[in-house]
Amino acid sequence: MPSNSSKAVINMMVAMWTITSTLITCTEGEYCRCSDPNAACWPTSEDWDAFNDTISGRLIAPKPTGTNF
């Protein structure tokens, strides 16, 4: 049975692979940056949750500029 630290490393690797593969979808010569949360290239909520789990829940979700806090 893997230790907790081994599980954490595996979870982090899976999350990083998922996010990286989601963000790296453009071909050479295209503008390769996903900055729209509504775009298909943006990681899903499940992807962000998996990544957040790997960093012990320290991911911060900022509020969009111009919204009330």
Q: Which residues contact 10 (CB under 8 A, 6 or more apart)?
A: 2
Would you state the torsion angle of the CA atoms of residues 2, 11, 8, 46, taken in this order, to the nearest 10 degrees? -130
The pLDDT tens digits for 5-63 are 788 888 888 888 777 766 665 555 566 677 788 888 888 889 889 989 988 888 887 77
| Cut 0.85: pTM above it | no
Concatenated DSSP letters for 56-69?
Answer: TT----PPPTT---
